[in-house]
Amino acid sequence: MGFNQGMKQETKVGKKLSGGLAVLLLIVLLHSCTPAGHSSENQETLSVITKTATAFTAATGIPLETVSVQETAAGVTTRSACSEHEGTLGTYYYDSAVLSEVLEVRVYLPPCYQESAIQYPSIYFFHGSPPNSADWVLLGAVDQMNAGIESGEYPPAILVFPLQPDSIFIWSDGGPESYEEEFFLGLVPFIEAHFRVLSQGSARAIAGISRGGVWALEISMMHPDDFSAVAALSPALQYNDPRPEYDPFNILQSMERSPERMLLQAGDQDWARDETEDLAYALEQAGKSAILSIVPGSHEAPLWSGSMGQVLAYLLQDWEQLY
């Protein structure tokens, strides 16, 4: 199934333009640009733009740090010039690499995605059980991301919320014919083929809740170079019964290195707390670093939604340097 046919819906939230002379000048600059690829013409245009920007600042006292001269000259909206306050959440479908079916994935695109040529880092979010690709959205991940980008606390990123079918989510543990294979051969190639995401591991993070937290651990620990960070919220290690080679407690004994940054979180009244603490201790004993966070609450939505801001901040850490 093609990408266009696979798109179910895409809702634009809050596309507002800021007013005033800065926007007026931006429009003038855009109209004065020559097409990319004509270097001599572009250099002349850049000179005109630079002089115009300098004159505007001198006359008004308004700095034009919100306009990137080089990218504007190529006709591209930049991060700093973005006037949208919220991103876009859409539902898409792709052909499974493991199953003979089409799988659903929700994708959040940051503000001004359509008007820019920027490549973004990405975070993959695994739901709990029963499967629901909207879990993280309902917990506030998109709202928190919009607020963080708006305030400047977070760098923009693409958020991916896949639906993980029970047959390879609950009833598999890793390796061939599992969700691990689906992730790398189905989901990631689809996202990287249809959205402007950076493909290096330093620009990709992964997170999961409960059963999804176990998958986030298994996948990131088996492939540490493919992720800059992992967050496992209340991972259901207590009910995990994998083959030994796919058990996070065994993986850590044989892996040469762990993901660069690992966050293990559980509630103080959470049934997942004991095993989460045990894994943190085992990682420490094996010489691997991880942050253990015990927060108030039980194995329920308020626990995870209440810490959404801190979790996103942890996953997005250091990504500002990618731009």
Structure tokens at 283: 């990682």
Mean of pLDDT values over 73-81:
55
For domain 88-322, which CATH number applies: 2.60.40.10, 3.40.1180.10, 3.40.50.300, 3.40.50.1820? 3.40.50.1820
The pLDDT value given to residue 41: 42
The region of weakest confidence among 8-12, 90-94, 140-144, 235-239 is 8-12
Q: What is the tens place of the pLDDT at every residue in 255-279?
A: 888 888 999 999 999 999 999 999 9
Q: 23 burial class (0-12, 13-18, 19+ CB within 10 angstroms)?
A: middle
Rounded CA separation 78/72 (Å): 7
Under the banding of pLDDT at 50, 70 and 90, the label for residue 181 is very high
Give residue 48's pLDDT: 38
Condensed to tens digits (0 to 9), the pLDDT of residues 286-308 reads: 989 899 999 999 999 999 999 99
Confidence class of residue 76 from pLDDT cuts 50, 70 and 90? low
Q: Are 218 and 179 in contact (CB under 8 A)?
A: no
Q: pTM for the complete prediction?
A: 0.77
Sign of CA dihedral 247, 252, 256, 260: positive
Report pLDDT for 65: 36
Q: Could you tell me the pLDDT band of residue 79, with boundaries at 50, 70 and 90?
A: low
Alpha helices in the chain (DSSP H): 3-6, 21-31, 39-60, 69-73, 135-138, 141-151, 166-169, 179-182, 188-194, 211-222, 248-254, 273-285, 301-306, 308-316
Identify which of 241, 205, 239 has the alpha carbon closest to the alpha carbon of residue 224. Answer: 205
Q: Where are the domains of the chain?
A: 21-73, 88-322
> pLDDT tens digit string along 196-220?
999 999 999 999 999 999 999 999 9
How far does Cα 167 stand from its chain's mean position? 25
Strand ordering across the sheet containing 261-267 = 9-12, 88-95, 102-109, 158-162, 122-126, 204-209, 229-233, 261-267, 291-295
User: For the segment 129-159, what is each residue's pLDDT rounded down to a tens digit?
Assistant: 988 999 999 999 999 999 999 999 999 999 9
Helix ranges, 82-140 (H) = 135-138
Q: Alpha carbon 183 to chain centroid distance? A: 15
Q: What is the pLDDT of residues 24-49, one digit of tens each?
A: 333 333 333 333 343 444 444 334 33
Residue 257: its pLDDT value, please? 83
Predicted local confidence at residue 13, as pLDDT: 35
Question: Is residue 194 pLDDT above 80, yes or no?
Answer: yes
Task: State residue 195 phi and psi, 5-degree precision.
Answer: -135, 155
Strand, coil or helix: 268: coil
Residue 6 has pLDDT above 60, yes or no: no
Tokens representing 219 are: 């996948």
Is the confidence at residue 57, as pLDDT, over 70? no
